[in-house]
Amino acid sequence: MSEDKAPIQKFSLDRLRAGDRVEFARFVEETSPAIYRLALRILNDPQDAEDALQETYLKAMRAIASFEGRSSLTTWLYRIAVNEALMMVRKQRPQIRVEDEPEDEEGEAGQGMQIVDWCCLPERELVSDEARRFINMAIADLPENLRTTFVLRDVEGLSIKETAEALEISEMNVKTRLLRARLKMRESLSSYYAERMQEGLA
Longest dimension (CA), the chain: 65
152, 38 contact by CB (below 8 A): yes
For position 192 contacting another protein by CB under 8 A, the verdict is no
For position 171 contacting another protein by CB under 8 A, the verdict is no
For position 127 contacting another protein by CB under 8 A, the verdict is yes
Of 10-18, 23-31, 91-99, 161-169: span binding another protein (CB under 8 A)? 23-31
DSSP-assigned letters across all residues of 151-179? IIIIIS---HHHHHHHHTS-HHHHHHHHH
Give the residue ranges of DSSP H helices in 13-119.
Answer: 13-17, 21-43, 46-63, 73-92
Collapsing DSSP to helix, strand or coil, 1 comes out as coil
Among 182, 197, 184, 176, which residue's Cα sits nearest to residue 112? 184
For position 115 contacting another protein by CB under 8 A, the verdict is yes
Question: Could you give the CA distance from residue 98 to residue 142 in angstroms, rounded to a whole number?
Answer: 7
By C-beta, is 100 or 117 nearer to another protein? 117
Please identify which residue in 59, 175, 191, 197 interacts with another protein, judged by CB under 8 A. 175
Please identify which residue in 11, 15, 17, 61 interacts with another protein, judged by CB under 8 A. 61
| CB of 21 vs another protein, minimal distance in Å | 5
List residues binding another protein (CB under 8 A). 1, 4, 21-22, 24-26, 28-29, 32-33, 36-37, 40-41, 46, 50, 53-54, 57-58, 61, 109-110, 113, 115-119, 126-127, 131-132, 135, 139, 150, 154-155, 157, 160, 175, 178-179, 182-183, 185-186, 189-190
